[in-house]
Structure 1
Amino acid sequence: MGKVVLVTGVARQLGAQFAERIRHEPGVDLVVGVDVLPPRPTFPSGPRPSVSGRPLADYVFAPVDLRRPAIARVLAEHAVDTVVHLNVSGTNPGAPGRATVKEINVIGSMQLLGACQQSAQVRRLVVKSTTGVYGSTSRDPAVFAERTQPKTLPPGGFAKDAAEVEGYVRGFARRRPDVAVTVLRFANLVGPVSDTPLAEYFALPVLPTVLGYDPRLQFVHEDDAVEVLRLAAIDPAPGTKQQAFDRAGTFNVAGEGVLLLSQCARRLGRPTLPMLRPALGWAAALAKQSRVSDFSPEQIDLLTHGRVVDTTALREVFGYRPSFTTPEAFADFAAGQRGGLLPPERLAAVTDRLAALLNRDPQPRDRHDRS
């Protein structure tokens, strides 16, 4: 009997991609997808198809609301030994409002952890979190490591949900020391088919920004995110190099390097609209009401102060170096977007020309004056 992997949040893009990827993993016998809505595309269950001569694991979709105790029955029915919890997110396809999203994130995670605690078969737990748990304030350090405590705890939104879920996960790890627990704090996910709130922001024809701020941002490509999740979910083969790495623990996941928000706008070919922060808050509320973009207060904080995390533990302890740097991940995302109002080359030339004019010395000097 091979591994049985349960994946929550398969109605979202990342969950669907991971569920399909883990089916190709040797030694995985069954993948159980859990969500309120079915994934798109729906993966076939029943007889295993074959790809390159390698049989794929069976796939079963269980329509379960994690806020209900039924998740314990699913774990027992399929003898699940590995749980990959991807249903902690800023938005949810089956949730009409913020209150419901919070219930799914926090209450749903509590129910899942309770079911895992009662299950004798579960031996590995992987939880998707976010670097948003560090917050974004003017008093933050230049770089956050996993042990860095935030200056101010997230006041609300997805970041606060993730911080609460991490607290419950730490409690579970203390009660079940026999279970290998991995928490992955992802930077902003991007890719050709990203469905995150920040991806919606970058899809706007004009990007509203906070006047006087140009934050540093980090991104992780969705392919790297899927690969990190895969490595966290599998058991290293005996005698391989991976056995030297302990993949239990908490890890920051981000592509190397950073981008300024202004650089992101230029790569997209989209003009920016600098606004006073209160005005941006009003614009965000209007965009959310009109369902143009889910512009949360924590996203405004990110677009004001930015956030950069240290990924040394991901490379040296977990044993993985992302294939995409932050600029490369964003470039792949930008390639899949509709063209901006201005071509990137023209927008860059105009921006550079304006900067040169603003920095020009208004007092003419004698050519021989070198003082």
Structure 2
Amino acid sequence: MTSYDQPSSSNEEIFAENASTSIHSRCVATLKSHNSYTSSLVLAGKFLFTGSSDKEIRMWKRRADHENPTNDDVVVVVAGKGAVKSLVVSAGDKIFSAHQDNKIRVWKINNHHNSDTQTLAHLATLPILSDRAIKYLRPKNHVQIRRHKTSTWVHHVDAVSALALSQDESLLYSVSWDRTLKIWSTPDFKCIQSIENAHDDAINALAASRDGRVYTGSADKKIKVWGKPHGGEKNHSLVATLEKHSSGINALAVDMNGSVLYSGSSDRTILVWENDCGGGGGRTVAALRGHKKAILCLGVVADLVCSGSADKTIRIWRRGVERCYSCVAVLAGHDGPVKCLTAASDCHHEGDDETSSYLLYSGGLDGDTKVWEIFVLR
């Protein structure tokens, strides 16, 4: 049953400050949408899309006043088998979803004339049939996935764990527990490259930078940097391997400029990486500690870094001068580990030049999706 609860516990509102910044944060809504946990979420215009561990994708209308949504405010789509692992939006009219059943699905967001409602229509399932058929006919396109079993290289053969789009949205990147990184052409949905054995263990995290770099994070404790093709080169290639974490990588995020990478790990640490001047790799400039359990998700908005953890909390970190980071808020309200989050500027809030307002959306293993207001007083 779908419901929308106002916060009732005082621990869902906190006030934190340091020498240069005051932050006021409060939970303004709780969306109870799934019979199982919320595994992924993404914003697209006026709508929030949530994916669940029981194969549902829900589309929620975002409301500035946080009023209780009616039945018309929620659209439910059921697809695939198992969890919806990742969601990304392309050009505001397409949604790509990654699934536990090893597939990627493409959805068209349909806007209805004379109405403020939208619906989802299934466009394709990747790999598409024509791509599979062409590759299947040529033995050189087959790769061995088990001792006595082969598959064409366009197939993921385990859960697709994360998705990302290139800056111009012409390429879709996907990673999987099968240890591969695949690159897809978004105009025709064809797989154009598969990097087999990209890692030594399951790949859990993915991020794409504005400058063309692609970052993958794995249970093998490594982050790998893949370079954008140059000139006549067709394929992405390995640029660098980043090794500082002591446990598997669960989350990656890149700042707005593409110059800083954040990585979250089961070692309870968020590492901050800056691009070096030559090789395209990175060097650590900070380590953010405070969570009591594994970091499961990361999000960046303006100079704030948001982290969700298995300790059921969200921490908000602010970047100051000289690469100095401070934890300016701890949000407690979920009854289970925080699995996914995203943040955006709150365009409905009228603030002055010294106040910034953001909306943070978090999904947890408790099945809830929470909406948080964050006010930053500079």
TM-score normalised over the length of structure 2: 0.25
Higher RCO (C-alpha 8 Å, min separation 6): 1
Greater strand share, structure number: 2
**TM-score after normalising by structure 1:** 0.25
- Which has the larger Rg? 1
Compare the two structures and name the one with the higher helix fraction: 1
